[in-house]
Amino acid sequence: MISGFEDVQKASKENIDLAMKSFDAMGKGMQAMALEAADYSKKSFESGSAALEKLMAAKSIEKVVEVQSEFAKSAYEGYVGEMNKFSAMMTDFAKDAYKPFESMFGKYPK
């Protein structure tokens, strides 16, 4: 009876340890993504401000269209690049959060 209880207690402790490792990885991943989002927001704001200054200094409609086109192109490329980076971060984040459970799933017969 005591042996069975000790086995259950040991399994519960192992599961809690695995969950804590997973939560730690999730926390680190979320923190990295938050920092990346803040950096992207700052860069985006700075490039938007620079584009606005160029627009205000433009002397002709052609120059306004040119500045606006350049800004739209760079904003789109920056956005796509950032989304690719976020996608890679999410994949790594999910893998890191799952890693502690890999050993647990290998214990049970298929």
Q: What's the number of domains the chain is made of?
A: 1
Percent of the chain whose predicted confidence (pLDDT) is above 70:
91
pLDDT of residue 54: 92
**What range does the domain containing 24 cover?**
2-102
For residue 13, pLDDT beyond 90: no
Query: Is 36 part of a structural domain of the chain?
Result: yes
Query: Is 93 part of a structural domain of the chain?
Result: yes
Q: What is the pLDDT of residues 19-49, one digit of tens each?
A: 888 888 888 888 999 999 999 999 999 999 9
Query: Is 89 part of a structural domain of the chain?
Result: yes
Query: Is 38 part of a structural domain of the chain?
Result: yes
Query: Is 110 part of a structural domain of the chain?
Result: no
Question: Nearest Cα to 82, choosing from 74, 92, 94?
Answer: 74
CB 44 within 8 A of CB 76: no
CB 25 within 8 A of CB 90: no
Under the banding of pLDDT at 50, 70 and 90, the label for residue 87 is very high
Query: Is 108 part of a structural domain of the chain?
Result: no
Query: Is 109 part of a structural domain of the chain?
Result: no
Query: Which residues lie below 8 Å from residue 67, measured CB to CB, with a gap of 6+?
Result: 51, 54, 55, 58
Query: Is 42 part of a structural domain of the chain?
Result: yes
Under the banding of pLDDT at 50, 70 and 90, the label for residue 80 is very high
